[in-house]
Each structure stands twice: as structure tokens, then as C-alpha cells.
């Protein structure tokens, strides 16, 4: 369906990635944000808190990130599209309630404008070292979805996609920006509202007597209702059955938690999203995401000038991982090169999927800046040998 | 134009970031090209060094940071000292005449404007950065005067447009009078930097 025009600031703007992300959320229909502002994500909530009064949205500056995530999980059950915004240290504090959101199958979006870590790290400088945390940061087994934009324009476009995926699969979606994209100002084109497709939460049409909150078959997503609409329902972080009631047994764990994993894994083909360029006949395929993808394209141009056949795969959805595609490519290319602003995270997934059929080379960067294209070039040249 | 890199620097509070924002807005939105702006973002408060970097191109900008700027706009001597060495050997230096005493290398072009004094004469020192943007537009010609004026109008707080446009025009006029065709060319003779050798890196 088309989005509510109230949140759409149609036009051509010169925005940084944080503002663009905020505008994208409002364009997607987000009307509740709870957060504890933290550099370099503060401008997202600054933008939203200034604009929300014009469209009936609610922003709450919370006491901390634990409260922020709890408020978002709770508010989502009123049928409102919800988001919280943070950076590394706050992301760590949100983990427990992100797990609660996953367990309760709560649609919401968590924006992490990544900075250098660990701990307080580099508050004003970029990093991509939370990308594994986005996948595994909370305890227990579950699968979530993570996206990574490479520009302010994509911060706008993809956060809408993040909301859509969260509604479709009833999961917290991790929107993994980085400081460089967040604080980079570029042209951002916001289309008219009638061109913005959004997924509206499908509420159950069952009667209160028939409705069960966790009733599903196979890879189906259970139907949701709104708290306050007259349904008696129960939801909990404890392992629960179809009724949402706690049942402490291995059987119920299998029913409940396998579903949390399978609803993403079995639908991965529909969720996975990447760009590819000149993969056919390539000797080397470079895989990158976020800001690193842009720097990588420079290195690829340089390598092609030197006559190397290089293909490029840009991860737009990082989790679930495009495992199937990388397995297909493995063996057909000499090597994969994976630059990222951390000491090696996504590269491990590439290596796993390459399964020894192609070499996998990481190009680490500790954070605080982006790679020099020459460093990536060197890795490409090495992998092409 | 292929890619050009611009650094704008000054004290926090001088409107360095806003001036970069206006230039980028004019080039990307009004002129329809691409401009990527990055702020040097430290724990700086008002009064300390502040800097913004722009990469402008008719094609998409990939690498967002700058390496050797083609144009260096400087509004404080501290900023000059910090960044003067990175300006390209044939680059363009644009400086606040009363606050910076530049020593451009041979091959570098230098253009000075007393932007603070001009702003004071308009009644508000705060519009110094917009005087500089007007002057910058005259010197560089990277976008038309109209496109830059529109960007000023779109970027300043509402209610201050008139004053800011006046400041913009004053900067533009200063360039035309001092350096433009028909004006007296007072472009300072580029001097070899005497103490270049042995000077400590920034």
C-alpha cells in the first residue's frame, strides 16, 4: 500500500545520512521513537523529534537504552511503527530487549550508527565492528535481519525497506549505518508519497475467541493483533506455546525457537539483497557493505585498469547472509576479498561459504576512517595471483 | 569537471559547516551534480578549529574524504597552519584577509577578502561566512551566482534571508571589484614559501 503523505518531505534535499534516515522512517509511517541520544546517531532523533509534532508522532527521550528498547517493543504492540536509534555502547545495552523483541516476534527497527569500539571507543569516528553483534548480540538462538546503507540516499530508501521487512517477518530489524554515512551530506531525493510502497501490518481477522498469538504452520508468520482491541492475549520472553503461555519443555522450545530461526532462514531467498557487478568471468570477487562499498568501487576501477578481472558484490541486506550465492561463486573464482572496518567479521562468513574452494582474504581496518583504496587494490592484486 | 576537493576551515562558531553546506547544496541540488560533504567532527567547542571537506564532481563521488584539496578556504590562522600543506601545488587559496597571513607556494593562486570587516559593515559579524561564500563563488565559478544565492536562501534561518543575501552580494562584489574583469587585479604575487624546507609537518 502507499504511505501516509504526512511523513513524506517530497523534494530534493541536501541531507546527512542521519537526517535522511529520520526522514525515511517518517516516510515509512514510523510514529513512535524512543531513544537516548548518542553520537554519532543524535541527528536522527534530532530530526525526528523536530518533525514528529507535524504528523502526530511521539518521541520520548528515555532514561537509557534499556528503557528505549523496552518502550519500542511495548509500543509496537499498539500497532504503531516504532524505532529506536543508537550507537555502539547503546546497542550493547539494548541487546537484552532486542532478544525480547525477537522472542515476542515484535516488528520494530533499531538504528545503529556505528562508531569505533569497543566500549566508548571513537565516538565521533566511523566503524563497522558491530555487524556480528547485530546478528548474535542477544543471548539464545534467533535470527534477525540487518541492512547496511552506503549513502544518505540509501539511508532514506533502505530504512523504509527495514520497516517493511520488520512488518513482514515480525522481527526487530537492525539498520546498520556507520558514522561516515551518518555524518556525510549528499543529495537526497524524496519521492512523492504515492511512489513509496509500504507494508502495513496485517492484523488478524479472527475473532477474540479464535485468535491465538503464536499460531503458524511451517515458515508462516503468525498473525498479530493490537493490544487494547479487545483480544485476550499473552506474550512473554519465556518459551511459549501457541497461546503465548509459558511452557517449560524441550518440545515447546523446539516449537517456539526453531520457528524464530526458520522464519528467517527459510525465507532467506526473499530477504537477501545484494548488488552485483561484472561477476561473470571474474577472477576475484570483492564483497563489501556500507561506506566500505564505495571505497571498494574505487579500488576495483584501479584493478580493472591494471587488467584484473574483478567482480563486485555489495551486501545491502547483510543478515541473512547471501550464503547460497557465495557457495555458487566459490570454486569459480580464484579468491574473495572482503574489506570491512573491523578486524574480520563478515569475512569469516565468506570464508565459511567459500568452504576452501576459493581463497578468502580480509582487508581489515580498525576504525576511525575508511580504507585507502590502494590497500584494497593490493589485496585484489594478491588474490588475483 | 572531474572531481575537485575543497576544504573550508576556521574557528568553531564562524559558520564553517554552514558555508560548506551551502556550497554543496548549490552544486548538488541546484546545479544538479554531486557533492559529498564531510565534517571534521571532534569534541570541538566554539572557538577551536573546525573544518569541513567537500568532494564535488559531475559523476558520483565514491571516496568521501579529501586528500589534496584543489580549493582551500580559510577563515583563521590556526586553520591555515593546520591545513596549508595539503593544498595542491596549483591549488586555489581563499582567505580572510585580516585574520590570515598566507604564504602561498609558487603556482598556488591566493585571493583574500576582509569578510569579517564587510560583515561588520552590514551590521552583523555573524554573516561573515556568507560574505566568504559570495567571494568564493566569484573566485571559483564552480556554480552560477544564482544557484549559490538560492542555496544561501534555502540554508539560513528564516527571517534572515535578506541580510544573508546582502552579505553574499557584498562578498561577490568584493571579488568583482578587486579581482574581476575590469577590476584592479591585486592578486598577491605567489611567493615561494621561504621556510618550506625543514618546516615541521602539521
- Over residues A208-254, the pLDDT tens digits come to 999 999 998 877 899 999 999 999 889 999 999 999 999 999 999 99
For residue range A74-123, what is the model confidence (pLDDT) as tens digits? 999 999 999 999 999 999 999 999 999 999 999 999 999 999 999 999 99
Q: Label residue B41 by pLDDT band (50, 70, 90).
A: low
Q: Which chain A residues are closer than 8 Å to B24 by Cβ?
A: 14, 185-186
CA-to-CA distance for A239 and A102, rounded, in angstroms? 12
What does R_g of chain A's alpha carbons equal in angstroms?
21
Residue A365 contacts residue A339 (beta carbons within 8 Å): yes
Q: Which chain B residues are closer than 8 Å to A370 by Cβ?
A: 63-65
Give the domain CATH number at B166: 3.40.920.10
pLDDT at A157 over 60: yes
pLDDT at A3 over 80: yes
| Percentage of chain A lying above the pLDDT 90 cut | 96
Q: Which chain B residues are closer than 8 Å to A16 by Cβ?
A: 37
Angle at B36 between CA B175 and CA B19, to 5 degrees: 35
Average pLDDT estimate for A258-271: 96
Closest CA to A298 of A335, A336, A339: A339
pLDDT at A367 over 50: yes
Which residue does chain B place closest to A184, by CA atoms? B38
| Segment 57-86 of chain B within 8 Å of chain A by CB | 61-65
Instruction: Report how far apart, in Å, the C-alpha atoms of B124 and of each of A155, B104, B120, B129, B164 are.
Output: 37, 30, 5, 11, 10
Helix (H, G, I), strand (E, B) or coil at A177: strand
Q: Label residue A299 by pLDDT band (50, 70, 90).
A: very high
Q: Label residue B156 by pLDDT band (50, 70, 90).
A: very high
Report DSSP letters for B97-131, one per residue: TTT----PPTT-EEEEE-HHHHHHHTT-GGGHHHH
Contact B36 A40 (CB under 8 A): no
In chain A, what are the helix, strand and coil shares in percent, each to the nearest 5?
40, 25, 35
Q: How many Å lie between the alpha carbon of B42 and the closest alpha carbon of chain A?
A: 6
Note whether ipTM > 0.90 here. Answer: yes
Same CATH topology for A5-195 and A275-384: the answer is yes
What architecture does CATH give domain A5-195? 3-Layer(aba) Sandwich (3.40)
SS in 3 state form for B7-56?
EEEEECCCCHHHHHHHHHHHHHHHCCCEEEEEEECCCCCCCCEEEEEEEE
| Percentage of chain A lying above the pLDDT 70 cut | 100
CA dihedral (A345, A348, A353, A357) in degrees, to 10, reads 140
Residue B53 contacts residue B38 (beta carbons within 8 Å): yes
Q: Residue A132: count other Cβ atoms within 10 Å of its Cβ.
A: 17
Break chain A into its structural domains and give their ranges: 5-195, 275-384
Residue A233 contacts residue A211 (beta carbons within 8 Å): yes
Determine, yes or no, domain membership for B194. Answer: no
Q: Which chain B residues are closer than 8 Å to A187 by Cβ?
A: 28-29, 34-35
Greatest Cα pair distance in chain A? 69
pLDDT of residue B180: 82
Which residue does chain B place closest to A13, by CA atoms? B29
Q: Does B182 touch chain A (CB under 8 A)?
A: no
Report DSSP letters for B70-85, one per residue: SEEEESSHHHHHHHGG
Q: Does B34 touch chain A (CB under 8 A)?
A: yes
For residue range B90-104, what is the model confidence (pLDDT) as tens digits? 999 999 999 999 999
CA-to-CA distance for A204 and A208, rounded, in angstroms? 10
Instruction: Report how far apart, in Å, the C-alpha atoms of B99 and of each of B91, B95, B102, B113, B127 are.
Output: 20, 8, 10, 10, 16
- What's the order of all strands across the beta sheet hosting A310-315? A274-277, A310-315, A284-289, A335-340, A359-364
Residue B20 contacts residue B9 (beta carbons within 8 Å): no
| Segment 112-151 of chain B within 8 Å of chain A by CB | none
pLDDT of residue B201: 39
List phi, psi (to 5°) of A44.
Answer: -65, -50
Q: Label residue A202 by pLDDT band (50, 70, 90).
A: confident
List phi, psi (to 5°) of B176.
Answer: -60, -45
User: Which residue shows C-alpha cell 565514491?
Assistant: B62
pLDDT of residue B99: 96
For residue range A39-83, what is the model confidence (pLDDT) as tens digits? 999 999 999 999 999 999 999 999 999 999 999 999 999 999 999
Name the packing angle between helices B145-155 and B128-140 (round to 10°).
160
Q: Which chain B residues are closer than 8 Å to A369 by Cβ?
A: 65
Range of the structural domain that residue B34 is part of: 4-178
If residue A354 lies in a helix (H) or strand (E), which one and from where to where? helix A346-354
Closest CA to A229 of A244, A254, A214, A211: A211
Contact A14 B36 (CB under 8 A): no
Angle at B68 between CA A365 and CA B179, to 5 degrees: 155
DSSP state of A171: S
Determine, yes or no, domain membership for B84. Answer: yes
Greatest Cα pair distance in chain B? 51
CA-to-CA distance for A137 and A151, rounded, in angstroms? 25
Residue A265 contacts residue A320 (beta carbons within 8 Å): yes
Q: Which chain A residues are closer than 8 Å to B64 by Cβ?
A: 180, 184, 291, 294, 370
Helix (H, G, I), strand (E, B) or coil at A319: strand
Determine, yes or no, domain membership for B185. Answer: no
Contacts A–B by Cβ distance under 8 A: 53
CATH class belonging to A275-384: alpha beta
Residue A336 contacts residue A322 (beta carbons within 8 Å): no
Contact A291 B21 (CB under 8 A): no
Q: Are strands B71-74 and B109-113 parallel, antiparallel or unpaired?
A: unpaired
Determine, yes or no, domain membership for B38. Answer: yes
Instruction: Report how far apart, in Å, the C-alpha atoms of A124 and of each of A113, A115, A132, B175 are.
Output: 10, 7, 21, 37
Selected for mutation to probe chain B from A14, A295, A298 (highest B CB count within 10 Å) is A14
Which residue does chain B place closest to A300, by CA atoms? B62
User: Which residue shows C-alpha cell 482491541?
Assistant: A229
Determine, yes or no, domain membership for B73. Answer: yes
CA-to-CA distance for A18 and A43, rounded, in angstroms? 6
User: Which residue shows C-alpha cell 528564516?
Assistant: B158
Determine, yes or no, domain membership for B202. Answer: no
CA-to-CA distance for B51 and B79, rounded, in angstroms? 8
Please state the domain count of chain B. 1
Q: Which pTM was predicted?
A: 0.94
Contact B63 A294 (CB under 8 A): yes
Mention every residue, 6+ apart, whose C-beta is less than 8 A from residue B30. Answer: B143, B147, B148, B150, B151
User: Which residue shows C-alpha cell 559523476?
Assistant: B59
Determine, yes or no, domain membership for B196. Answer: no
Selected for mutation to probe chain A from B62, B66, B153 (highest A CB count within 10 Å) is B62
Helix (H, G, I), strand (E, B) or coil at B176: helix
Amino acid at each position: 500500500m502507499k504511505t501516509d503523505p504526512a511523513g513524506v518531505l517530497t523534494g530534493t534535499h541536501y541531507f546527512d545520512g542521519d537526517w535522511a534516515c529520520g526522514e525515511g522512517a517518517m516516510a515509512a509511517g514510523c510514529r513512535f521513537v524512543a531513544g537516548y541520544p548518542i553520537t554519532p546517531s543524535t541527528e536522527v532523533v534530532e530530526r525526528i523529534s523536530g518533525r514528529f509534532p507535524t504528523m502526530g508522532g511521539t518521541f520520548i527521550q528515555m532514561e537509557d537504552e534499556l528503557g528505549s528498547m523496552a518502550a519500542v517493543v511495548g509500543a509496537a504492540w499498539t500497532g504503531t511503527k516504532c524505532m529506536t536509534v543508537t550507537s555502539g555502547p547503546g546497542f550493547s545495552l539494548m541487546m537484552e530487549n532486542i532478544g525480547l523483541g525477537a522472542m515476542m516476534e515484535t516488528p520494530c527497527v533499531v538504528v545503529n550508527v556505528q562508531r569505533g569500539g569497543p566500549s566508548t571507543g571513537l565516538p565521533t569516528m566511523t566503524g563497522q565492528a558491530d555487524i556480528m553483534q547485530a546478528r548474535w548480540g542477544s543471548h539464545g538462538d534467533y535470527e534477525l535481519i540487518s541492512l547496511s546503507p552506503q549513502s544518505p540516499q540509501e539511508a532514506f530508501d533502505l530504512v523504509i525497506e527495514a520497516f517493511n521487512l520488520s512488518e513482514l517477518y515480525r522481527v526487530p530489524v537492525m539498520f546498520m549505518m556507520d558514522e561516515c554515512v551518518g555524518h556525510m551530506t549528499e543529495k537526497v531525493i524524496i519521492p512523492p508519497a504515492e511512489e513509496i510502497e509500504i507494508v502495513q501490518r496485517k492484523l488478524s481477522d479472527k475473532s477474540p475467541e479464535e485468535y491465538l498469538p503464536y499460531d503458524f504452520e511451517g515458515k508462516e508468520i503468525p498473525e498479530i493483533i493490537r493490544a487494547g482491541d479487545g483480544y485476550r492475549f499473552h506474550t512473554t520472553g519465556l518459551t511459549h506455546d501457541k497461546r503465548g503461555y509459558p511452557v517449560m519443555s524441550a518440545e515447546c522450545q523446539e516449537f517456539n525457537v526453531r520457528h524464530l530461526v526458520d522464519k528467517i532462514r527459510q525465507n532467506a531467498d526473499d530477504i537477501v539483497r545484494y548488488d552485483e557487478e561484472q561477476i561473470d568471468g571474474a577472477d576475484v570477487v570483492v564483497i563489501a557493505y556500507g561506506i566500505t562499498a564505495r571505497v571498494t568501487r574505487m579500488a576495483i576501477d584501479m584493478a580493472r585498469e591494471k587488467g584484473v578481472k574483478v567482480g563486485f558484490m555489495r551486501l545491502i541486506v547483510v543478515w541473512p547472509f547471501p550464503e547460497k550465492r557465495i557457495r555458487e561463486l566459490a570454486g569459480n573464482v580464484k579468491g574473495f576479498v572482503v574489506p570491512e572496518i573491523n578486524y574480520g567479521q563478515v569475512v569469516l562468513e565468506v570464508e565459511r561459504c567459500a568452504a576452501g574452494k576459493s581463497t578468502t582474504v580480509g582487508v581489515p581496518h580498525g576504525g576511525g576512517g575508511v580504507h585507502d583504496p590502494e590497500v584494497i587494490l593490493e589485496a585484489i592484486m594478491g588474490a588475483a595471483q | 569537471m572531474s572531481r575537485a576537493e575543497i576544504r573550508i576551515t576556521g574557528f568553531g562558531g564562524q559558520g564553517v559547516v554552514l558555508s560548506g553546506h551551502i556550497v554543496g547544496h548549490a552544486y548538488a541540488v541546484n546545479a544538479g551534480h554531486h557533492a559529498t560533504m564531510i565534517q571534521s567532527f571532534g569534541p570541538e567547542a566554539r572557538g577551536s578549529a573546525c573544518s569541513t571537506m567537500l568532494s564535488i564532481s559531475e559523476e558520483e563521488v565514491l571516496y568521501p574524504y579529501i586528500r589534496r584539496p584543489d580549493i582551500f578556504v580559510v577563515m583563521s590562522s590556526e586553520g591555515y597552519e593546520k591545513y596549508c600543506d595539503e593544498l595542491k601545488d596549483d591549488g586555489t587559496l581563499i582567505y580572510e584577509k585580516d585574520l590570515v597571513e598566507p604564504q602561498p607556494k609558487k603556482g598556488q593562486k591566493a585571493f583574500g577578502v576582509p569578510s569579517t570587516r564587510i560583515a561588520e559593515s552590514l551590521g552583523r559579524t555573524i554573516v561573515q561566512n556568507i560574505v566568504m561564500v559570495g567571494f568564493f563563488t566569484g573566485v571559483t565559478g564552480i556554480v552560477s551566482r544564482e544557484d549559490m544565492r538560492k542555496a544561501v536562501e534555502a540554508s539560513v534561518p528564516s527571517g534572515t534571508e535578506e541580510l544573508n543575501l546582502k552579505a553574499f552580494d557584498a562578498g561577490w562584489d568584493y571579488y568583482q571589484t578587486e579581482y574581476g574583469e575590469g577590476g584592479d587585479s591585486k592578486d598577491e604575487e605567489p611567493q615561494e614559501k621561504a621556510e618550506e624546507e625543514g618546516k615541521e609537518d602539521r
